[in-house]
């Protein structure tokens, strides 16, 4: 198998797991051309059955009544009250309802999900995004499915320079080398990201293209964008020119994530805080979210805001706040005040350990590889990894009896 399963392999794998696509009959109430084209393209590629397209939208579906199908796709643009209409339809039958529509708005998305839709895709649709929406299960089933297969952790620094990348790289390295599990490290800071640099790798080319034009995602494309540190650790990042503006497709990260997920036991995402907005489906796909802050007032404020956003976007995902101690001598508030401010506990405190961090940086190695296991920072990073790892204990390193 290539580093990343092709879309076809991915959906076939899901079918074997009993997912909806295997036996689905799809009825689509839509006038939207991009949706109709995507449905035709996906059916022609054999990725899903041909949909029966009914001219109209959600309002038509409400008047017609729930058709006999397993997946109902409805375009909400003709409905004066899409949330109420979805709620009405979902009360009529057991079909999975996927909504499409022109409005890209998180509040609407959440309301539609709460009303009973399993997903909402913004038009014009990207075929792969539609395929993902038509094959995922309802929200509560989905988080179980993710938990069984792939560990996915997003690390978000509440402020700059708090050590978020160090934590993300170290978790990925430990899972790959000590747990011996196939791990992808996804660096979403396309211009300033340092995940590859921290491992002394040149970032691959192509992540930007993948995120700008997710309809081009296929196995070759993604695997050529990945660089492997070893047999078990793969890094996806970029070093895009600063003078160029990036036009990332809002659905791109979610599609990429869905594409690589079947091929990895763990995915660690270094997620810049400036990119968190609009990444609702990515956050929902995580098994844990780590917010890293220093003990500063600004760190506390932004931890509160990120925590609220994460809890709103992904209420079922474990969320932990990690405090990096003493960095830049910015312990301006006490831990007790910090916990009061964030209305929650600090899950873990990372000690300030400049010697170990600096050595790792100058060696171009992950901190746990470069520093000895007695170093405070290495111990701390192992504990964090233990918190997010889904299963398995670190496998003992093979002893080397040299001649
Ligand atoms: N626990 C620590 N003790 C001392 N220094 C650390 C620690 N963790 C990270 N560092 C150092 O602090 C600097 C910033 O770390 P890192 O890049 O991981 O932070 P970041 O939060 O990802 O920053 P950015 O906002 O730029 O993405 C690096 O030089 C790193 O080696
Ligand atoms: Mg960083």
- The two tokens of residue 19 are 């997912």
Ligand nearest to the CA of 171: 1
Q: Which pLDDT belongs to residue 284?
A: 87
What is the tens place of the pLDDT at every residue in 312-344?
989 989 999 999 987 555 568 999 999 999 999
| Distance (Å, whole) CA 150 – CA 139 | 16
DSSP string, 247-301: ---TTHHHHHHHHHGGG-SEEEEE--GGG-TT-HHHHHT-SEEEEEE-SSHHHHH
- The two tokens of residue 174 are 């430990």
Q: Are strands 26-29 and 226-228 parallel, antiparallel or unpaired?
A: unpaired
> CA geometry: angle at 99 spanning 95 and 100, to 5°?
150
**Tokens 């009250």 sit at which residue?**
81
**Helix 7-16 / helix 252-260 crossing angle, nearest 10 deg:** 60
Cα 391 → chain centroid: 19
Quick one: 43 exposed, middle or buried, by C-beta within 10 A (0-12, 13-18, 19+)? Answer: middle
- Report, as ranges of residue numbers, the positions in the chain whose pLDDT lies below 50: 1-23, 137-147, 397-403
**Ligand 1 atom 23: residue of nearest CA:** 161
Return all residues near 245 (Cβ < 8 A) that are at least 6 apart.
none
Q: Which pLDDT belongs to residue 96?
A: 86
Q: Which pLDDT belongs to residue 193?
A: 93
Domains of the chain are 20-136 (3.40.50.2300), 145-388 (3.40.50.300)
For a mutational test of ligand 1's pocket, the pick from 156, 158, 163, 324, i.e. the residue with the most ligand atoms closer than 8 A to its C-beta, is 163
Q: Which atom of ligand 1 is nearest to the CA of 166?
A: 18
Residue 368 and residue 170 in contact, taking contact as beta carbons nearer than 8 Å? yes
Q: Which atom of ligand 1 is nearest to the CA of 367?
A: 31
What is the tens place of the pLDDT at every residue in 348-373?
999 999 999 999 999 999 999 999 88
Query: In the structure, which protein residues have their CB atom closer than 6 angstroms to any atom of ligand 1?
Result: 157, 160-166, 194, 324, 327, 350, 352-354, 357, 361, 377
| Distance (Å, whole) CA 168 – CA 148 | 21
Name the pTM for this structure. Answer: 0.67
Quick one: 16 exposed, middle or buried, by C-beta within 10 A (0-12, 13-18, 19+)? Answer: exposed
Return all residues near 379 (Cβ < 8 A) that are at least 6 apart.
373
DSSP string, 189-254: -TTT--HHHHTT-PPPS-HHHHHH-GGG--HHHHHHHEEESSSSEEEE-----TTS-----TTHHH
Ligand nearest to the CA of 381: 1
Kind and range of the H or E run holding 63: helix 58-64
Q: Which pLDDT belongs to residue 395?
A: 59
Cα 326 → chain centroid: 30
**Ligand 1 atom 4: residue of nearest CA:** 354
| Distance (Å, whole) CA 207 – CA 186 | 10
Residue 351 three-state SS: coil
Q: Which atom of ligand 1 is nearest to the CA of 324?
A: 1
- The two tokens of residue 152 are 């996915």
For a mutational test of ligand 1's pocket, the pick from 154, 161, 296, i.e. the residue with the most ligand atoms closer than 8 A to its C-beta, is 161
For a mutational test of ligand 1's pocket, the pick from 158, 165, 352, i.e. the residue with the most ligand atoms closer than 8 A to its C-beta, is 165
| Distance (Å, whole) CA 325 – CA 349 | 7
Q: How far apart are the first and last CA of the chain?
A: 36
CB-CB neighbours of 372 under 10 Å:
9
Cα 241 → chain centroid: 24
Return all residues near 107 (Cβ < 8 A) that are at least 6 apart.
none
Q: Which pLDDT belongs to residue 18?
A: 30
Which residues on neighbouring strands pair with residue 293, listed in sequence order? 323
Q: Are strands 266-270 and 151-157 parallel, antiparallel or unpaired?
A: parallel
| Distance (Å, whole) CA 145 – CA 236 | 24
Quick one: 344 exposed, middle or buried, by C-beta within 10 A (0-12, 13-18, 19+)? Answer: middle
């Amino acid at each position: 198998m290539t580093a990343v399963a092709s879309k076809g392999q991915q959906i076939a794998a899901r079918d074997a797991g009993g997912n909806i696509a295997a036996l689905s009959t799809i009825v689509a109430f839509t006038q939207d051309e991009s949706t109709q084209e995507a449905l035709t393209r996906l059916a022609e590629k054999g990725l899903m059955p041909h949909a029966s397209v009914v001219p109209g939208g959600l309002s038509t579906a409400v008047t017609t009544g729930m058709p006999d199908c397993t997946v109902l796709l409805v375009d909400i643009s003709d409905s004066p009250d899409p949330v109420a209409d979805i709620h009405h339809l979902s009360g009529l039958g057991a079909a999975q309802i996927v909504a499409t529509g022109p409005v890209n708005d998180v509040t609407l998305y959440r309301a539609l999900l709460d009303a009973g839709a399993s997903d909402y895709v913004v038009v014009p649709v990207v075929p792969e995004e539609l395929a993902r929406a038509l094959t995922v299960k309802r929200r509560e089933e989905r988080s179980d499915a993710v938990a069984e297969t792939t560990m996915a952790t997003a690390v978000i620094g509440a402020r700059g320079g708090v050590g978020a990348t160090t934590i993300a790289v170290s978790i990925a390295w430990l899972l790959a080398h000590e747990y011996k599990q196939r791990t992808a490290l996804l660096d979403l800071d396309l211009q300033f990201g340092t995940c590859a640099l921290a491992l002394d790798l040149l970032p691959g080319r192509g992540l930007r293209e993948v995120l700008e034009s997710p309809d081009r995602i296929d196995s070759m494309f993604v695997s050529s964008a990945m660089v492997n540190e070893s047999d078990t650790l793969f890094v996806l990042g970029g070093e895009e020119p600063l003078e160029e503006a990036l036009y990332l497709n809002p659905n791109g990260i979610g599609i990429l994530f869905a594409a690589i997920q079947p091929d990895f036991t763990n995915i660690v995402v270094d997620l810049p805080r400036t990119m968190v907005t609009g990444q609702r489906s990515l956050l929902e796909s995580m098994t844990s979210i780590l917010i890293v802050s220093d003990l500063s007032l600004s760190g506390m404020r932004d931890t509160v805001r990120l925590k609220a956003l994460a809890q709103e976007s992904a209420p079922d995902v474990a969320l932990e706040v990690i405090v990096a101690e003493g960095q830049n001598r910015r312990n301006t508030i006490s831990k007790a005040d910090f916990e009061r401010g964030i209305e929650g506990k600090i899950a873990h405190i990372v000690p300030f350990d400049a010697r170990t961090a600096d050595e790792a940086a100058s060696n171009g190695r992950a901190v746990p590889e470069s520093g000895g296991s007695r170093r405070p920072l290495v111990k701390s990073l192992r504990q964090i990894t233990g918190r997010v790892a889904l299963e398995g204990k670190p496998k003992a390193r093979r002893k080397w009896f040299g001649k």
